[in-house]
């Protein structure tokens, strides 16, 4: 099945290990769309950095 034919899976990602594994599992059968929510917590910058690294690793756009 080509990527364009896969249905979308929205993966809410904090940037942690669980998010990375969930994205990898979703990728097996779906086209993942990573979503990161910044609600201005103290750890926002530390959480955003690994989220972007996951997106870069899989070559997915992040915003």
Band of residue 62 on the pLDDT scale cut at 50, 70, 90: low
Q: Which residues of 4-26 are buried (b: 16+ CB within 10 A; e: fewer)?
A: eeeeebebebebeeebbebbeeb
Instruction: Between 63 and 61, name the one with better pLDDT.
Output: 61
**Is 62 among the domain residues?**
no
**Is 30 among the domain residues?**
yes
**Is 63 among the domain residues?**
no
Count up the domains in the chain and report the number.
Answer: 1
**Is 47 among the domain residues?**
yes
Please write the tens of the pLDDT for every residue from 21-59: 988 999 999 988 888 888 888 888 888 888 888 888 888
The pLDDT value recorded for residue 13 is: 85
**By residue range, what is the domain housing residue 30?**
3-57
**Is 13 among the domain residues?**
yes
């Amino acid at each position: 099945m080509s990527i364009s034919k896969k249905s979308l899976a929205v993966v809410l990602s904090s940037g942690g290990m669980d998010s990375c594994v969930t994205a990898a599992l979703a990728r097996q059968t779906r086209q993942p769309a990573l979503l990161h929510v910044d609600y201005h917590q103290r750890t926002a910058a530390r959480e955003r950095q690994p989220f972007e690294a996951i997106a870069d690793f899989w070559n997915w756009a992040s915003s």
